[in-house]
Amino acid sequence: MNFLKQDKTYASVLMALAAVTLIIPFCNLITSADSPLHFSAYSVSLIGKYLCFALLGLSLDMVWGYAGILVLGQGAFFALGGYAMGMYLMRQIGTRGVYGNPELPDFMVFLNWSELPWYWYGFENFGFAMLMVFLAPGILAFVFGWLAFRSRVTGVYLSIITQALTYALLLAFFRNEMGFGGNNGLTDFKDILGFNIQSEAVRSMMLLLTGSSLIGALLLCRWIVGSKLGRVVTAIRDQESRVRFLGYRVELFKLWVFVFAAMLAGLAGALYVPQVGIINPSEFSPLNSLEIVIWVAVGGRGTLYGAIIGAVLVNYAKTVLTGLMPDAWLFCLGGAFILVTLLLPDGIVGLLHRRIKPNLTLNASGEQPA
Is the CB of residue 82 less than 8 Å from the CB of residue 270?
yes
Half-sphere exposure of 215 (CA within 13 A, CB side): 18
pLDDT tier, 334 (very low <50, low <70, confident <90, very high otherwise) = confident
* Spatial CB neighbours of 259, under 8 Å, sequence gap ≥ 6: 138, 141, 142, 145
For 245-259, what is the mean pLDDT? 94
Is the CB of residue 105 less than 8 Å from the CB of residue 86?
no
DSSP 3-state of 278 = strand
Q: What is the pTM of this model?
A: 0.93
Is the CB of residue 104 less than 8 Å from the CB of residue 272?
no
pLDDT value at 100 more than 70: yes
For 365-370, what is the mean pLDDT? 46
What is residue 154's predicted lDDT score, i.e. its pLDDT?
87
Q: Cα–Cα distance between 188 and 24 in angstroms, integer?
A: 26
For 280-289, what is the mean pLDDT? 94
Measured in residues, the chain has a length of: 370
What is residue 346's predicted lDDT score, i.e. its pLDDT?
86
pLDDT tier, 265 (very low <50, low <70, confident <90, very high otherwise) = very high
Half-sphere exposure of 3 (CA within 13 A, CB side): 16
* Residue from 13, 41, 34, 39 nearest 24 by CA: 39
What is residue 364's predicted lDDT score, i.e. its pLDDT?
46
Is the CB of residue 268 less than 8 Å from the CB of residue 63?
no
The secondary structure of the chain in percent helix, strand, coil, rounded to multiples of 5, reads 75, 0, 20
For 42-55, what is the mean pLDDT? 96
DSSP 3-state of 181 = coil
Q: What is the mean pLDDT of the chain?
A: 90
What is residue 75's predicted lDDT score, i.e. its pLDDT?
96
Q: Cα–Cα distance between 311 and 354 in angstroms, integer?
A: 21
Q: Cα–Cα distance between 316 and 312 in angstroms, integer?
A: 6
pLDDT value at 28 more than 80: yes
Q: Cα–Cα distance between 270 and 79 in angstroms, integer?
A: 8
Q: Cα–Cα distance between 44 and 117 in angstroms, integer?
A: 35
Q: What is the pLDDT of residues 164-193, one digit of tens each?
A: 999 999 999 999 999 999 999 999 999 999
Read off the amino acid at residue 144: F
pLDDT tier, 6 (very low <50, low <70, confident <90, very high otherwise) = low
* Residue from 207, 177, 166, 160 nearest 50 by CA: 207
